Structures are given as C-alpha cells and as structure tokens.
Structure 1
Amino acid sequence: MGSDAGHRQAHPGRKELGSDTRTAAVVRSGVTPNGTTDFYTDSLYHDFRTVDGLRQHLDPTQDFFFDPRGGADSILSSIGQDLCTTGQPVDTVYFAAREKYLPDFLQALSQRSCHRQHITVVAGSDTAALDPKSLTGLGQQGEAPITVLYASLPSAAALRGRSNGDHDLYDQFITAFTANHHGRTFPANRAARGYWPVLAHDAVLTLTTAIRKATTPDTSFPNRYDIRNHLYALTNGAVPAATGRFGIDPTGNRSTTPITIHRLGITP
C-alpha cells in the first residue's frame, strides 16, 4: 500500500475524532513475522503522525513499537498497562499494526488497571477482515468502554446497493467471480468476506486496461514503459472497476477511492 492510500484511510478518521482535546499514543509494528519491512503498517504509522487532525493529538513520548517475532501477547499486555501510567491519561490509540493483533490488543486494554476510562482505537482498513465478534474487548462496555474506528471500502451490500451509481459494475464482478472457470467455481459469499477479492480484481483490471491500450498492430508486445505510459493516461474514470469507475492520478494512485468509516463498540 502506498502512502497516498494510507492517507486516504487516515484522513476520514480525523473527522470522526472531532475537535475535542485528546491525548493519543501510537502502537506500531513495522515488520512482518518474517522480519521484512511491512509497508502497509509503515504507511499507517507515517500518516497517523502527519495527517492534520490526527497528529495534533499525539503525545510524542507515547510511541510503542513491537516486533511480532518476539511474541505479541505479552508485549501488547505491557503496552496496555503502560497507557495507564503516562503523565497525561491516553484516551486515543493509533494502531499501526496488522489486524490479527488487534483482538489481543483490545483484550489487553480491557484488562489494564485504568480500564474503566474510555479509550478510542483508530485502526487500519484491514480491520474489515476481522469478525466483529473477535473484538473481545468491546464486549465489556460497562467495565471497559472501548471504541474502534477504521476506514475501509464500503461493504458488499453497499457496493451492490442502488445508492452506488456504479452498482452494475459490482454486479458484473460477482457474475464473473461465480462463473465456471475451467471447471472451477467460487461461491459469491467468498467475494463478500472482505475487500481483498474486489481490490485484486480492480488492480488486475487496471493493469490489463493499460496493456490493451498499449497493444497495437505495431506493438504486439508492449514493454513496461509503454504500459506505464498508458497507465498514467487512464484518466476520467477510464477503469470500470467493481468498486466504481476511477482513473489514475499523477502520483500513480486511483483518482477516487470510496471510503466508509466504521465504528465498533460504544459511542463516547
């Protein structure tokens, strides 16, 4: 994920937090379990620290890093407790780590010594891949009031809804997804489990659109420069994607991204 995409996730979050005075900490993991750089969480961390409306709440001394190769459970519990011992109570956490660690972190928050203080966790779009029931810390609203905010693509129901002007494109995607492919078929509910199937579809569609435009009778095998030229020329909704028509902007990112803010837990 590029930094621009991360910015588009973080930017709506600032509106949800409002203009209230907050004290925010960052919990981050910039590496994968294999020890390689995790560009997704790096992008989230960068944007949590730079997007106006988010960075203004940050306490620069409350920046917690964990390495998943060392085991996440114990360190997340320690971080949860550390949030109670800061000079100024932390009421907001920017979670720049993979969604698989979020349930354990919420559990740690629900067990910290100051667990009765409401806390808001702002997470990344991959939170959409979790079953809300797995966010166990949210179940103890009276004893441990926790709110989770995250931005992601609209749900499958929203994409196929009539309020989406490009719902027919999503329907076409589902038709193709469930069609017989060399004797293999996939049930429609697999496409609705998360946003990765539709994102993968739109990414491949974008590339094939550029390849087709770069392929002429004189250039039957376009090189990567031909393709890149045509990729950046995909403007004005040239890509009829399942998530809605879009073009490619000068930074190489899609020109429009439908974003929905999801709120789990209680409203403070």
Structure 2
Amino acid sequence: MSRTTIDLPRPPSHKVLWSALGAVCVVLIAVVLFKAFEPDTDCAPGVVKRAGGECVGVSDGSFAFPALGDISGRIRDENRKVEKSGEKSVTIAYLESMSGGTEDRGPEGTRLAVTGAHIAQQEINNERGTLPRVRLLLANTGRDDAYADDVVEQLLKMKDEQRLVAVAGIGQSNARTLAAVDKLRTAGVPIVGATVAGDEMRSKAPGFFRVSFPADAQAAAAARYFKEQQDKHPGYRLQVIKDNKAGDIYNASLYSGFMAAAQRVGLKVETVVPFTSGAAPGGGNALRVVAEKICVTGATPDGVYFAARGRELRSFIEAAGENRRSCPVRVLSGSSAVGLYFDTSRASGTAELAELGRRWNASGLKAYYTAYAHPDASAQMYGGQERGPFPDFQRRFLDLRSGSAGALNNGQAMVGHDAVYTIGIAARRAMDTYGPDKITPSTVLDLLGQTNGTYKVRGVSGEIAFAPDTGEPSDRSMALVELGPPTTRGDEGNQYRFVGTLEP
C-alpha cells in the first residue's frame, strides 16, 4: 500500500515577516497622523467649525458664540429649568450673525438684542400659572450671514423634535437673510424680525412680522421731517448721499423710499451724491470725496439725507471734520445709524473714539436717525415711564450685566425683547384658542396675524401690533434720536439722545 505524503508549507522567512509587520506599522502611523491633523469639524453639538475656525450652527446656550459672552450660559440655565419642570413648553430660535457681526452690526448690538430676548424668555417663564414655557435657541448664521441657508435648514430639521414654533431676530437686511426668511416662510415657520428694515422682507404671503420699522416707513418719516424744515425756512437746501453697494437691500430700500416720499410730499432735493462702500480696500476714501462735495465753505447744504449704513455714516463724520474742517450740516439717516459706535469698544478703542470726538465737534455736524425704539419714546407712548413695562425691563437688564442704564438708549435690547416676547404671548394665546396639544408653527402664525386692534402686546418699545396684510408694525411711533459725539465721561446715554417721535 502506498503512503500519502503531505507537504507542509514552509514557514515564511524572517524577511517576509518583517516586511508585513512594517507595512502594518506604516498604515497605523498614517491613521494616527491623519487623526492628529484632521480638522475638528464640531465646535459643540449642533455647532460646526467652518473656514477660518468660525463656529456656526444652533446651540441651546451650552456653546458661547463670540458675540454673546456669558449671556449664553444664562440662556442654557433657563432652558435646563424648563426641561426639568416637565411642563408644556415650546422653542423659539433667535437667528442672526453671532460671530462678531454683519456689516455695521457689531458684536455689541447682537449681545444687547440677545440679552433682551433672554429677558423676554424669563418674563414668560416666570409668570405664575401660565403655559407654555419657552426654550430659547441661539442660531448663528456666521460672519456676514454667510451660512444663513445652512442654519435655517438645520432649524427646519429639528422643528418637530424641538417643538420649534417661530424664529426671531434676523439681524440685518441682505440677500442671504432675505433667502433665509423666504425658506422659513415657505416651511410654515413664522418669523418676527427684531432689527431688520429691508422692504423686500415684507410678507407677500403670511409668515413674516417685525417689531422694527421698514426702511420705506423710516424714509417717508424723514421726508416729512425735511419738508417741515423747508416750509419753516424758505431756501432750506437738501442733498442726498446714497450708497450704491450691490446686494445691500437696506441701502436700496432707504434711498428709493426717500425719493418716492420726497416726490409725494413736494420735498425739493438739490442733488444726489453717490458712492460705493466696500468696493475695494480703503473704502473710506469714497466718503472723503463725498465730504469734499458736501462740506464746501459757504455752500454747505442745510440738510443731508444719508441713505447708507451706520459704519459709512461714521466714516463720513470723520471725513467731514478732518483737519478741523467746519461742516455745520444736519444729517438724518435710517435705523442702521445705531451701529455707528458698534465697531469700537471703550475698553480697546479709547484713542480712536477720542479722535472721532475731536473731528465731530470741530465740524459742527449734527447727526440724527430714525430709531426702532428708545426708552423716552416708550414713556411718551405709554403716557409716562411708570405706566409702561420699561422700568421692570431696565431692572432685569441691569441684574444681568454690569454698566449703566444708558446702554439701553440705543434700543437694541428693547426690540430683541419685544420680538421674542410677542412670540411667547402668541404661543399662550394659541394654547388658549386651540388647546395645549395644538401649539404649532401654524397656530402661532395665526395668533401673530391677529396681533392688532384691541389684541396688542405690551412691549417695552410700545404696544406691538402688526398690519393684517403685511405684518409690518402698526399703531406705534418711531423715535427721532440724535447721535452725540463720544465724551471723556463715557456716558453711553448721551450718545443716543431722544428728540421726539415720528409717525411711520
């Protein structure tokens, strides 16, 4: 019988083993190195790191966006209280750039508006025996609102799980925020703008409301103001400065609204001086050319309407007083002028503010703007400060942050509050009308649309009501505010002096 022979394979040589082991090590080292140098794409849950390290997305306050500081932690704590209570609650998202600002809306303006929104959240939640409670989400659209579309998409995906009923804020009027508003409106999520003025935001279909005054209403009020000056002072000369920057719907709305209103009321405009901001580095040069045209010795106009943003108004003021030039003109602009100071903090820009003050005082120029809100305007509308909600709002504001009550005079915290508070009241009314299980974006939208007539909301800026056909503010006056040069005392209140009220 033959024997079967089995040939066993030879063991691999040491050379082969070492080669295989080396290959494995190379792969492991590559993986480790890749992980070590792979960019971290998450700043926090719901917040993604974008180009340049900017953190963009939606947070419940657990992550502090650069513009907000410690107010984020306070919002987080209030949200935790609502969650632990187990009581019926809804969510409101506050949407705008929280990375340091957009255009002339610097971090201080954003921080004030969000602080006002948080106070509104506290007021709704602390009211005994009432529901629903409010959770507040912070939605950062990124610098210049570059990621507004992505953030809105994120909000819509979390709508049902988070019981999101509305969005407040919006920040500034530009093509990106306009697209964001359109997307929310199409999805049936109502929006209440706090600091947004562009006319294109106006609702063609139900969905967009605002406590801020649109640019055309501001421009019309300004045209009537200048018409009164021409009627009182024969020969009163008026010129218009306009910014031709592409894609800025605020500037375009302000200019077109003013020229249309001027024609309606018979206001004489002597000439229009155009410039284009942001076209190239050294954009302030354009305002120096404008100042040369306006500040002509012996021929300076009596009045100027400035159809541009607050950052450009500041550059114009600096140019007007350059080398202590005299330019005794009265300049009136729109709501964006509130941001004239937002680029520079007193902590870091003392020398810069001092130079601005020297030039401004030397020029003799007077600057005014149509404001969304001012504490003194609120007092006038309510028939006295103590008859309205502002004193309680001021107390809560000072409890939250150090500083003086003068910080409220620019109105940003007031309208941030009123946008969120109005949504909270609409949610309560939706519960009363439709029942506790029917507080949805559609029912809140319905009740926001009914916020008019005798069904108003007592906001800190005045009584909040919306025109039924447009969602625009109605039955409330805007404030005429004088901007003051910076002082060595650092008194924020003197920078925003109430002059009177104007009808939209």
- Shorter-chain TM-score: which interval? 0.7 to 0.9
Which residue matches 1:195?
411
1:5 paired to 2:214 = yes
**Aligned partner of 1:121: which letter?**
V
Query: Are residues 65 and 214 of structure 1, via their aligned partners in 2, closer, same or farther at CA, if it must alter by over 3 Å?
Result: farther
Aligned partner letter, 2:360 = L
- The AA in structure 1 aligned to 2:394 is I
- Say if 2:246 is the partner of 1:28: no
Q: Do residues 124 (structure 1) and 334 (structure 2) align?
A: yes
Asked if 1:169 is matched to 2:389, the reply is yes
- TM (norm. structure 2) is 0.42
Aligned partner letter, 1:222: T
Structure 1 runs not aligned, ≥5 long? 180-184
User: SS in structure 1 opposite 2:367?
Assistant: strand
Counterpart in the other structure of 2:361 = 139
**Counterpart among 282, 287, 297 of residue 76 in structure 1:** 287
Q: Which residue of 2 aligns with 1:260?
A: 479
Shift of 1:129: 4.5
Deviation of 1:195 after TM superposition, in Å, equals 1.1
Report the counterpart of residue 214 of structure 1 in structure 2: 430
**SS of equivalent residue, structure 1 residue 208:** helix
Structure 2, gaps ≥5 residues long: 1-196, 200-212, 342-352, 485-504
Q: 1:263–1:177: structure 2 CA closer, same or farther, 3 Å change rule?
A: closer
Q: What are the equivalent positions in structure 2 for 1:41-56 lying under 5 Å apart?
A: 41-52=251-262, 56=267
Pair 169,96 (structure 1): closer, same or farther in 2 beyond 3 Å:
same
Give the deviation of 1:91 after TM superposition: 4.1
Q: CA RMSD in A?
A: 3.6
SS at match of 2:451: coil
Deviation, 1:211, is: 2.8
Structure 2: distance between partners of 1:189 and 1:256? 30
Equivalent position SS for 1:56: coil
Match of 2:248 among 20, 31, 38: 38
Whether contact under 8 Å (1:48, 1:55) holds in the other structure is no
Would you say the 8 A contact 2:377–2:479 is kept in 1?
Answer: no
Q: 2: distance between equivalents of 1:188 and 1:258?
A: 28
TM-superposition CA deviations, 1:98-132 (whole Å, max 9, x none): 212222202322359xx656422111233344469
What's 1:182 paired with?
A: none
> Which structure 2 residues correspond to residues 85-124 of structure 1 after superposition, within 5 A?
90-111=301-322, 116=326, 118-124=328-334
2:266 and 2:318 mapped to 1: Cα distance? Answer: 25
CA positional deviation for 1:243: 1.3
Deviations 1:172-227 (A, max 9, x none): 32344355xxxxx3336375152111111101112222233234337534234x33
Q: Deviations for 1:33-69, whole angstroms, at most 9, x for unmatched residues?
A: xx7x333333322222122487722245x24031224
When the two structures are superposed, what TM-score results if normalisation uses the length of structure 1?
0.73
Higher relative contact order (CA 8 A, sep 6+): 1
Match of 1:243 in 2: 461
Change (3 A) 1:153 1:164: farther
1:232 aligns with 2:449: yes
Residue identity in the other structure for 2:402: P
The alpha-carbon deviation at position 94 of structure 1 amounts to 1.4
Q: Which residue does 2:349 correspond to in 1?
A: none
The C-alpha deviation readout for 1:147-166, integer Å capped at 9, x for no partner, is: 32322255435646885367
Change (3 A) 1:219 1:59: farther
Distance 1:89-1:157 versus aligned 2 partners, 3 A rule: closer
Instruction: Quickly say closer, same or farther: Cα 1:207–1:135, change in 2 above 3 A.
Output: farther
* Alpha-carbon distance in structure 2 between the residues aligned to 1:5 and 1:188: 31
Q: Tell me which residue corresponds to 2:167.
A: none
Q: CA contact under 8 A between 2:238 and 2:269: conserved in structure 1?
A: yes
- Find the aligned partners of 1:59 and 1:111 in 2 and give their Cα distance: 25
1:237 and 1:245 in contact (8 A); partners too: no
Q: 1:151 aligns with which of 370, 386, 389?
A: 370
Distance 1:178 1:262 in 2: 23
- 3-state secondary structure, aligned to 1:210: helix
128-137 vs 234-243, greater mean Cα deviation? 128-137
How far apart, CA to CA, are the structure 2 residues paired with 1:47 and 1:135?
Answer: 31
Structure 1 pair 136–51 and aligned structure 2 pair: CA distance change class (3 A): farther
Q: 1:229 to 1:136 in 2, by over 3 A?
A: farther
Against the structure 1 CA distance between its residues 164 and 125, is the aligned structure 2 distance closer, same or farther, given a 3 Å change threshold?
A: farther
The question of whether the paired residues in 1 share the 8 Å contact of 2:318 and 2:359 is answered with: yes
Question: In structure 1, what residue type is equivalent to 2:401?
Answer: F
Q: Deviations over 1:64-108 (max 9, x none)?
A: 0312242331111112223468xx964432112221222220232
1:241–1:117 distance in 2 versus 1, CA, 3 Å: closer
